[in-house]
Amino acid sequence: MFIADIFNSGAMPTLEAGMQFAAQRQRLLAHNIANISTPDFRPVDLSVKDFQAVLADAVAQRREATGGEQGRLDLKKTSEIEMVAGGTLRFTPRTSSGNVLFHDRNNRDVERLMADQAETVAAYRAASDLLRGRFALLKSAISQRV
């Protein structure tokens, strides 16, 4: 119980959810890039705006219910995001429609894919660095070297 309380305190659940989202989106973007010249291929993606809105709502609900520093972060189910047992997130990507349809019926935009990939990597690195700092602080407190 004590360990669960530690992992559900502060920004840790938010950072974990952000890392799960970024990891899944990175997989999807890599898949899209790998299939960039496949005829009839339709790239899929997750909406960053929708995830950020759901995460902000979950943080606001936790803040309202517990004062913000304690408790689970319950993300509302949407068409793309579902929280399953153990706090793991399940994502259902959608087909993006903003790209140009080429003569081989492939819907692609290499520049956008590369920009999205760079943005996703930066978000993952920022969340992992912040989470690493939280764990270092916990480790220091446990070893009584605060």
Write out pLDDT tens, residues 72-95: 788 888 989 898 887 788 898 887
Scan for tokens 């291929």, then name that residue: 41
In sequence order, the 6+-apart residues with CB closer than 8 A to the CB of 121 are 22, 26
**DSSP helix/strand/coil, 82:** strand
133 Ramachandran zone, left/alpha/beta (phi>0; psi -120 to 50)? alpha
Across the range 11-28, mean pLDDT stands at 91
pTM: 0.80
Instruction: Look at residue 68 in the predicted model and tell me its pLDDT.
Output: 62
Half-sphere exposure of 25 (CA within 13 A, CB side): 28
Least confident of 10-24, 32-46, 48-62: 32-46
Q: Which tops the pLDDT comparison, 35 or 145?
A: 35
Instruction: Look at residue 29 in the predicted model and tell me its pLDDT.
Output: 93
Write out pLDDT tens, residues 103-114: 555 656 778 888
Instruction: Look at residue 1 in the predicted model and tell me its pLDDT.
Output: 37
Instruction: Look at residue 4 in the predicted model and tell me its pLDDT.
Output: 46
Instruction: Look at residue 5 in the predicted model and tell me its pLDDT.
Output: 45
Q: How far apart are CA 59 and CA 46, in angstroms?
A: 20
Write out pLDDT tens, residues 29-47: 999 889 888 877 778 889 9
Does an H or E element contain 84, and which?
none
Work out the angle between the directed axes of helices 48-66 and 12-34 (0-180°, nearest 10). 170
